[in-house]
Chain A
């Protein structure tokens, strides 16, 4: 035991960017992610959100789990694990994937980076070591290395990000299309940049040796100063991702390996991620269960709702009638969306009720008094927020 600190083993770890982020965390609003101290917000969540939408901002994704899957069988191994066809992924491209257990229930979602024909990086929100080990068993030539602590990563999001990276000397970054990966020399080592993110906006993710993390931060903030750069935390991320319609573990879905009760987990079809399930692929984990579900139709479907009024419908029950006697689902995430200027929500609704009326029973508080209201909901087919600049290549310069 460490004499100086008897709780040493219990304390949260600090990310490679911590020395720069800590002084900026004016509110000392820390939470934790995968054992790392991690900012809930730095100053004000809404302010940070607006920086993401109007300028540029950094979000420390170092605590994200990262695995290098390599070897001659790495593609086959991943291809059997995830529902998408990995063989179609080109080198230096990223793809969003989900993976399921044998019953077609979602274990987790994440991204696969194809670094070489026999080398991939898989990232996900929480540890996946055990499932990777189970998935790799039986493949002769594959190794899975947990590189979570060996790679520092910053998500850099917002309309001015490309301009900043260009000024930093990342030649040709403006030609990178969404999901492209580029490599640049940086100081004594390489910097990998992917045009990816969790905000639905223009943005990049920067991957670097932890030893070079602070140098990267300093360069970014030196040049970013003129472009409105600001760190943002979990709360702002959550707003941005909800507008973009991205799902969050622990909100929209439970990881199948962590649920106890029957069907408290989800299938990709329930999460409206059917487009990630590629039945042209003759085999992947959970395929037969998913095929059966596709034919039968999912029990619930994750649905985007536009809700009348301005009271966020967090934790609301949904009903098929205004009298609220026919319960048809529940809200998973909700907020007033500044970008869409709408009261938005993601909700799980029993499929057979999608076509009918949808009413939310909203509880809210005003100066310590509880109120409730019943608000009409409209199903939105398109994302609440999908600006053209998120996909434009080259992105606008500033």
Chain B
């Protein structure tokens, strides 16, 4: 049935979603080829050497990978321990009055505030659980629907209804609320507000005062599972699962063009062509590259409809998060922190986030950068030489288009500013820095082939979510070109290390 050189599916990009999709398809008996442009798998989650002996993944923490995917793909058998408990999170205070959050446990705030948090988090948990099933489902298109689609809509309605009248009303009230309003309604502590807002905002072009999907993003990030060994362990387990299922992985294989052939019934994707001219044919071509890359450069507009093309063009793809990697020759000490294995947030209050956003909006970086720090080498010793460490910082609101452009000088200036900021909380850290790398959104675009260097491949916002992600007519993983599917972060439900887009796409292909 399958002649040599002909695959059932070819997957473009071996990011975590490409790996998940490949594993599912191969397990269903398909002959699968995974083609990855770079020299290693993992995409934004791959660990790259940025200084001799020091490696870091861009995505530095796994805190809501889909548990059912982990179980179905048997990631345990490939060395992964799941459900290791929540990732501790600390809101760093310039005065040393840090706020510690670990699951339900909250320290460093008043009793009142703790109670308020318990109430708040119980309600949000209920919302998050009501939404949870839909991150692993195709959201039906608006239009003539099949029975299965109607069931999904029905299920959604039922789940919301099951929340009960009080919760449902409250859900409808808060889901598009600016983070700031939700925080001000519930809490007093500035550090706590920043800490709890963080997951609603990071990765999006969204400040505390922006109404849109911040609360939904937060709920999206409240489900799923954690795992041991960090991002590297997840990527290795996924790679092993895909290969074990029979998927073939080729690195250093950049797809130049998706081959499209025409007949009386129209166009169809029939395979791919690499930069070196090699051609592979398949019944399904599945792209985990971002939607703009997939359609505008791999398919080409001459094969697409005009309105559709312009909706792809309009996708908001400019990233607002920069990455700083520091190679440290010793274990860093953050004042007042004993366990540095979690996430540390530097954002003294919500205004500090808002103002950083304002700067980025107008093409500048903030003199007071806000950021999330982790030490990935704490969980993955392979990232640094013995007793040395890697510090990874997600710096929020660094523009893709810097006024005047990015160059060595502007990059250095921003790196210095970030290190100064960290130094306030970890005095002496500067002396231990032996190497560093700053990846602006423009650098991320260049290094990872993601348009705009965007965290979610394209903005997660109400107009680009659910049956509109990335845009209607391509939101059910199938695209206007028969045989071409999407499976990356640009699809529902969106970015982060969840595996959901890869899983959902495979499900659609196997239908």
> Which residues in A have some Cβ–Cβ distance to B below 8 Å?
76-77, 79-81, 101-102, 131, 134-135, 137-139, 279-283, 285-288, 291
Contact = CB atoms under 8 A, between A and B. Distances in A.
B306 A134 contact: yes
Nearest to A288: B266
Given A138-B300, A139-B301, A291 B306 contact: no
A135 B308 CA distance: 11
6 contacts: A80-B306, A135-B306, A139-B302, A282-B266, A283-B302, A286-B305
B296 A138 contact: yes
A101 B306 contact: yes
Interface string B309-336: 1100100000000000000000000000
B2 interface: no
Please indicate which of the listed interface residues B296, B306, B308 has the most CB atoms of chain A within 10 Å of its own CB: B306
A287 B266 contact: yes
Contacts of B313: 137-138
B265 interface: yes
B309 to A, nearest CB: 6
B305 A291 contact: no
Q: Size band of the B side of the interface?
A: 20 to 34
A217 B266 CA distance: 49
A134 B302 contact: no
B352 interface: no
Contacts of B302: 76-77, 79-80, 138-139, 283
Contact of B264 (A80, A81, A137, A279): A279
A80 to B, nearest CB: 5
Given A138-B313, A139-B301, A283 B267 contact: yes
A138 B265 CA distance: 24
Contact of A283 (B266, B296, B310): B266
B338 interface: no
A137 B310 contact: yes
A235 B264 CA distance: 42
Given A102-B306, A137-B309, A138-B301, 18 more contacts: A79-B302, A80-B301, A80-B302, A80-B306, A81-B306, A101-B307, A102-B308, A134-B306, A135-B306, A137-B310, A138-B300, A138-B304, A279-B264, A280-B264, A282-B267, A283-B262, A283-B302, A285-B305
B303 interface: yes
Contacts of B301: 80, 137-139
A282 B308 contact: no
A80 B262 CA distance: 13
Interface of B: 261-267, 296, 300-310, 313, 480
A77 B303 CA distance: 10
B114 to A, nearest CB: 54
A286 B264 CA distance: 14
Contacts of B305: 102, 285-286
Contacts of A79: 302
Given A80-B302, A288-B480, A138 B309 contact: yes
Nearest to B262: A282
Contacts of A76: 302
Contacts of B306: 80-81, 101-102, 131, 134-135, 285
Please indicate which of the listed interface residues A102, A138, A281, A287 has the most CB atoms of chain B within 10 Å of its own CB: A138
Nearest to A107: B306
Contacts of B261: 282
Contact of B265 (A81, A135, A286, A291): A291
Please indicate which of the listed interface residues A80, A81, A280 has the most CB atoms of chain B within 10 Å of its own CB: A80
Contact of B263 (A101, A138, A282): A282
Contacts of A102: 305-308
B438 to A, nearest CB: 32
A291 B307 contact: no
